[in-house]
Structure 1
Amino acid sequence: MAVTNGAHDTMTAAADAWSEAPGTAPLLEVRGLTVVYDTPSGSVAAVDNVDLTVKRGEFVAVVGESGCGKSTMLFGIAQLLSSPARIASGDVIFRGQNLVAMNDKQLAPVRWRNLSVVMQSAMNALNPVKRIGAQYADTMKAHGVRDKREIRRRSEEVLALVGIDKIHLESYPHQLSGGMRQRAMIAMALLFTPELIIMDEPTSALDVVAQRSLMLQIKELQRKLGFAVLFVTHDMSLVSHFSDRLLVMYAGREVEFGETRTVFDAPAHPYSKGLLDAFPSIRGPKVPLVGIPGSPPALSAMPKGCRYEPRCPVAYADCKEHEPALYDVDGVLARCLLYSPDHQPPASVPSNADQRKESAL
């Protein structure tokens, strides 16, 4: 097992672990993103110094408990934060441009044309007093498309892509089912065939059958059109079947990032293992589900050392005092002192390397 010293720059480790063709930069590169909420008692960081890369045509999933910073990170990447949230530091490099340094006028041509967002609740994201077709038309007009026939043609085309009859361009959002509303939102996101689509739990309000149908449609569209997806979800089954790489977040920080199958087969971080142990498998022998005890820490009262230490089954004394860096463990980045060359656990603490081998068997 190769463990790289966590003192090196995180993005360098990520680039080494998942290099593209020589000379090809990632489509999206997030560097040290910190998003804070300003409160009467001071600012608290909901996303704390997070790094992330998304390659062209890739499907990257983000998982973690509620309140771990997933959606806040997405809104920070898309530059859709509103007060009291703000970006305190970091860069979001998309297609070679730093979105953080751009104003609304500069961002306007990028949104929807190159980067689009599918919100968690389509009923809230869509205008309830406008027909679907009128909302598509508004989006295209905002990007300079004025020809009514072209607007109608493209609107019908994107609805057909997601399996909805063109007659529903005349429907209001409340006249569509939950699954149709989500697909209508995805169709809007595809109006200009962007290179990256950010999705914030688009399946959370759907039943299991509708979820799978929607996800199969997203993957088929991705295969046809070649866009990348950054996808937030609580559903580990969706992650397992549809994502290429997986980012696990806890208390505002990334704790594991790697190829999805590698993380599922042999999780490097105790929190990732805890999430998987709490998820039922439809294959293999029946095993009891084990929840993670306790709750994530409050944003205003983070532990001094490892943020997961109060809940971690393999924590030891150093975990209370030292916050771990990200370590490259066989191509997976993991934020855990069990992999630190400077903080070796006592012999009585089970090694995560052993756990990785056991879970892979």
Structure 2
Amino acid sequence: MSEPMLETMNDDALLRVSGLRVEYATANGPVPAVAGVDLTLAKGEFLGVVGESGCGKSTMLFGIAQLLNPPASVTAGEVWFKGENLVAMTAKSLNTLRWRDFSVVMQSAMNALNPVHSIGRQFKDAIKAHAKWSDTQVRARSAEVLELVGIDPVHLKSYPHQLSGGMRQRAMIAMALLFTPDLIVMDEPTSALDVVAQRSLMAQIKELQKQLGFAVIFVTHDMSLVSHFSDRLMVMYAGQVVELGRTRSVFDAPAHPYSKGLLDAFPSIRGEKKRLTGIPGAPPNLAKPPSGCRFHPRCPVAMDRCKADVPELYTVGAAQARCLLHEPAPVSVEVES
């Protein structure tokens, strides 16, 4: 690690992503799906990542976990995890860290289990790949993590098709907890579940996090899902972070017009009835993103300069927002005559 990075890392920083850029190679040239993402995750923190489909959420997650496959690749940036740059690590070194230090729960994870092996066999394979445990230790730990997610250890003998969708999803989370990692990244793990099962699983994940102390990056397109569970919220649009702040602050006073549009698209169970407005138009083609602010073609408060000036992430109270409405006023300097 270089000296400047050592100076910027603090004791609470478990993960630090700097300038992450992920591109897809195409016949017409590279397409940037993630364009310069920066984020810091503290130990034990729950970070929610939201945005429309195609905004780069999952690609960013795969870039952080170094799970990208061609034609996608990290073309710039660094991912520092516990003092090591994952982008510069070899595949062998990464395999040593995965499951042991950080785990990944994929989208539709309940379908990721091998249908021809029992749950216990799949847990055993994961453990044996990273540790030299006896069969007794493997059985004990497998039963322990199943109980953590509310599943009777008798189901270690069950096959995936013998479990409900919610149970398979929880079994995948149990597998991610086998080595009690410091970080678990989740890519829409509740997308295949009904609303009741979603809320139950989210409550269980939050309770496990409090109990075991691991950090979470939770990717979803449903803002309401993370409203009560995440500590901070990252809103992405067209491959960029457009807002980042405390979850409650983002919900109570969204600083970016896109964040407000997402919130207005979800009904509230409290207060007066309001017509859902949604966001007009469609996300841009990332091969040819709009000039200036990428959201300006759909923004209800866009100014003429939004078409030309590229906004940075400006500080808005305790949050950050990529909107020219929050650009600091230039400081005038008086020159004495």
TM-score normalised per structure 1: 0.88
- Residue 146 of structure 1: CA displacement? 3.3
Aligned to 2:30, what secondary structure does the other structure show? strand
2:256 aligned with 1:269: yes
Identify which of 121, 131, 145 aligns with 2:132: 145
Identify which of 136, 149, 155 aligns with 2:142: 155
Give me the whole-angstrom Cα distance separating, in 2, the residues matched to 1:23 and 1:291. Answer: 40
Q: Which consecutive residues of structure 2, in runs of 5 or more, have no partner in the other structure? A: 331-337
2:116 aligned with 1:129: yes
2:181 aligned with 1:190: no
Aligned residue identity for 1:165:
D
Contact 1:123–1:174, Cα closer than 8 Å, also in 2? no
Which residue of the partner structure matches residue 328 of structure 1? 315
How many residues matched? 324
Aligned to 1:29, what secondary structure does the other structure show? strand
In terms of mean alpha carbon deviation, does 194-203 or 141-150 score higher? 141-150
Identify which of 80, 98, 123 aligns with 2:67: 80
- Residue 23 of structure 1: CA displacement? 4.7
Residues 170-217 of structure 1 show CA distances to partners (whole Å, capped at 9, x for unaligned) of: 122122111001100000000000000000001111011111111111
Q: Which consecutive residues of structure 1, in runs of 5 or more, have no partner in the other structure? A: 1-11, 16-21, 344-361
Contact 2:49–2:236, Cα closer than 8 Å, also in 1? yes
Aligned in 2, Cα 1:34/1:25: closer, same or farther, shift over 3 Å?
same
Give me the whole-angstrom Cα distance separating, in 2, the residues matched to 1:340 and 1:126. Answer: 48
2:51 aligned with 1:69: no
Residues 293-317 of structure 1 show CA distances to partners (whole Å, capped at 9, x for unaligned) of: 0000011110111100000000011
Aligned in 2, Cα 1:206/1:23: closer, same or farther, shift over 3 Å?
closer
Aligned to 1:93, what secondary structure does the other structure show? strand
Aligned residue identity for 1:240:
S
2:249 aligned with 1:287: no
Contact 1:158–1:191, Cα closer than 8 Å, also in 2? yes
- Residue 25 of structure 1: CA displacement? 4.1
Give me the whole-angstrom Cα distance separating, in 2, the residues matched to 1:333 and 1:340. Answer: 11
Percent of counterpart pairs with the same letter? 69
Residues 274-306 of structure 1 show CA distances to partners (whole Å, capped at 9, x for unaligned) of: 000111111111111111000000111101111
Give me the whole-angstrom Cα distance separating, in 1, the residues matched to 2:252 and 2:325. Answer: 19
TM-score normalised per structure 2: 0.94
- Residue 341 of structure 1: CA displacement? 3.5
- Residue 339 of structure 1: CA displacement? 1.3
Q: CA-atom RMSD, angstroms?
A: 1.5
Aligned to 1:90, what secondary structure does the other structure show? strand
Residues 93-134 of structure 1 show CA distances to partners (whole Å, capped at 9, x for unaligned) of: 001110000011111221001100111112432222221111
- Residue 335 of structure 1: CA displacement? 0.3
